[in-house]
Each structure stands twice: as C-alpha cells, then as structure tokens.
Amino acid sequence: MKKNPWTTLLVLLVVFGSLFVILVGTSVYHFMGEPGAKVTAKNSILHLELNGIIIDSKKFLKQLVKYRKNDHIKAVVVEVNSPGGVVGPSQEIYEELRKVREEFKKPVVVVSSGLLASGAYYVAVAGDKILVQPGTMVGSIGVIMEFVNLEKLYDWAKVGRYSITTGKYKDSGAEYRPMREDERALFQDMINDVWNQFKDAVADGRNLEMDQVEKYADGRVITGSQAVQLGFADGFGTLEDAYETAADLANLDDYEVFDPPKKRPGIFDLIAVEDEEMSGQFGRQIDGVMKKIFRTELANKPLFLMPGAIE
C-alpha cells in the first residue's frame, strides 16, 4: 500500500511542532526563574557568596537587591573568598551592603576562611561583623594599575600603531608607546584618590583611627589572627558561626538559612553557547592566549586587587 506523502508531512509537522513547543517552554521556564524561590521561613538569613576576582557586580547585586526587601529576610551573611578586583564593582557591592544595614535595618555578617583581600576587604568593611580564620589572608589595602608596553613587539612584527586624539592624555596608557612622566604622575594622582577612598571606608567601617589604617594600608596582606588583633576583623568563626552571629544581631531565637536558587541554563542558552563555541572558539583561544601572555585583561584599570592574583 502506497503511503500518502501528505500524511507523512503532517506527522513530521506534528512531531517537530511538539518538540518546538517543549523547547520553547523549557527555555521560558528557565529564563523566567524556577518556582519555589520564595523565602518561606518567617525568620530567614540570606546567604550569598562572593568568589574569585570581582570584575562585574551584577550577579551578586541582583540576588542581594531582590531578597533584602523581603520581610522574611532578617539578616545577611556574605561568604567571601576573593583577592579583590575592579574598583567600581567593589565599591558598588560595598554601597549596597551598607544600604542593607542603614536603610533596611538588617545586620550583615561577612565571613572568610580563605582570602579576604583588597576589593573583597573593601566589601567586607560594609558589614556589622567580619569573621575569619587565623590563617585567612586579609587586607591588601591599596590600589594598583597595570600597563603593558608592546612597542618592541610591534617593531619586531613590523606593525606601526598610532592614534589621533583630542588631547595629550587621551591615549595615556596606550600599549604602543612608553608612558611619559606627566602621564605617570596623572595616574598616580588618580589611584591616590581612590586609595584615600579605600582608607576612609576602612576607618569608617571598622571604627578605627586613620593613623591605625594608614600604618597597614601599604598593600600588605596580614593573617586573620593579625587582623583580629589589629581591629581589621572581629573574631574567628566558620560559616555556621556567621549565621549564629547574624541571628544574635537580629535577635532571632530560631531561623532558617535561605540560599537563592542558582539559575540553570535553558535550551536556547545551550544552543547559543554551542553555536558560539563552533563559530568563535579559535578566535577566543587566540585572544585568551594573548591576554594570558601580556596580562591585558585588567590592564589600564584601577584595581583593588592583591598582587599576583592575575596569573
């Protein structure tokens, strides 16, 4: 019996149409967020993590801003393991944590067992309490800017680079020429200003005299034990201790810890990633190698970053 081609076509349309609806539904489900992400316990402590180099504050702040307004959230615990990062995002997180305390009247406790340095420490001083381990690496109060001079490489490759600018400082820090002394002085003045902002934040957040802050604001890293002795941290404690401290500050007899759900990628995310990997993988690999060799990813930016964090 000969099959009707229209019947076959109709079946294929139904099958592929159903698959399309499922894929779209799955993607929308993930993009819109998973159900059950509400804070259900009346007395909840929000737990957030801040790990790695701080380059972008959006992901962290999205969760903080979303849940700090919730009446069931009574306190916030931030678990940190970071060498710091870019100045702006570090300051942005600091300011939003201050709002949790000052505007929303909810205590903030920062805890770190590994690394709490530079921009991460800037973030930490926004908290009511800082808990560390005796061996936690703390501090690195300072600012750094890294520049790359590829002039000799361009000469070797017989590549000439130049720019047309509207002012003598518009191409300051460019990698194709040496830095002038007046440019060096300009950048030094800039990072000194940011450095003063850092020291002011530490003195205010830790209730320390500026002389005490100045003494240790030369970029040095100290241990958690030293930090507690010098007033740069409040005491030793684990994550569980941080929860208990936050509960005490919020006058909670009982509480539950709330961890924001991690978003899983939808099918369209996966398709986009796969397509990007197929089309641009080689170019990204080359770009990554160049950034690795010449350390350009964070070049020409003022950084609250512990030296050696970029490898």
Hey, what CATH topology would domain 44-264+294-305 get? 2-enoyl-CoA Hydratase; Chain A, domain 1 (3.90.226)
Single-letter amino acid code for the residue at 119: G
What does the block give as tokens for 212? Answer: 């005490």
Residues with a known catalytic role: 118, 170
CA distance 48 to 53: 16
Q: What stretches of the chain adopt beta strand conformation (E)?
A: 44-51, 73-81, 84-86, 108-112, 115-117, 129-132, 137-139, 221-223, 235-236, 256-258, 303-305
Q: Return the pLDDT at 289.
A: 44
First to last CA, the chain: 70
What does the block give as tokens for 248? Answer: 């005490």
Single-letter amino acid code for the residue at 225: S
Are the C-beta atoms of 122 and 143 separated by less than 8 Å?
Answer: no
How many residues would you count in the chain? 311
Mean pLDDT (10-residue bins), the chain, 311 residues: 58 56 47 55 92 92 93 95 93 96 96 94 97 96 85 84 84 83 90 94 96 94 96 96 96 92 57 46 46 51 59 47
Q: Return the pLDDT at 271.
A: 47
CA distance 109 to 241: 10
Q: Return the pLDDT at 35.
A: 46
Task: Give this prediction's pTM.
Answer: 0.77
Q: Return the pLDDT at 306.
A: 62
Residue 101's nearest CA partner among 246, 285, 287 is 246
